[in-house]
Amino acid sequence: MSVSILLGSASDKEKMQGALNALTEFGISCEFKVLSAHRSPHLVVEHVETAPSRGIKVFICGAGMAAHLAGVVSGHTTLPVIGVPLSGSALNGHDALLSTVQMPKGVPVATVAIDGSYNAGILAVQMLALADETLAKKLVDFKADQVKNIEKANALL
């Protein structure tokens, strides 16, 4: 396992599927687990502290509302943490966006767009690719496909 995908609630499952999809596309194995910073804080700490022994290199944390999951995880690890603010609240995810992105100095969370779990997956791939040439090559192909798609779109205009 290289990536640990954490969800603040089982209700976040669908919105976090994108991260799983992106990592699967690149053949990366990952954990996919519900752990709440508010409801099960001790389980979060235990999971994060034991992650290196399971081979985890990157965390992806998705949570909505007053989202503290990514920040708490970042507080307990030296591994990179990617935060995915999730919609679904009365504030449509703006609450989670600010909670996730506005981390104080020294405790970073690389925050993607509201519901941007696919990009979180791609960002994790890019981090892992720094030490993995095969993955780095797959990323070059991934980027090339995006160029092809733009060219196709233009041809159809």
Adjacency order of strands within the sheet including 110-111: 30-34, 3-7, 58-64, 81-86, 110-111
CB of 86 to ligand RP5, least distance (A): 5
CB of 24 to ligand RP5, least distance (A): 22
Interface with ligand RP5 (CB under 6 A), residue from 2, 4, 36, 74 = 36
Site residues (CB under 6 A) for ligand RP5, limited to 74-113: 86, 88
CA–CA separation, 32 and 110 (whole Å):
19
CA–CA separation, 116 and 112 (whole Å):
6
29 scored as a contact of ligand RP5 (CB under 6 A): no
Measured from the CB atom, is 20 or 135 closer to ligand RP5?
20
41 scored as a contact of ligand RP5 (CB under 6 A): no
Query: Which residues, at least 6 apart from 18, have a Cβ–Cβ distance to it below 8 Å?
Result: 115, 116, 117, 118, 119, 120, 121
- Footprint of ligand RP5 (CB under 6 A): 8-9, 11-12, 36, 38, 63-65, 86, 88
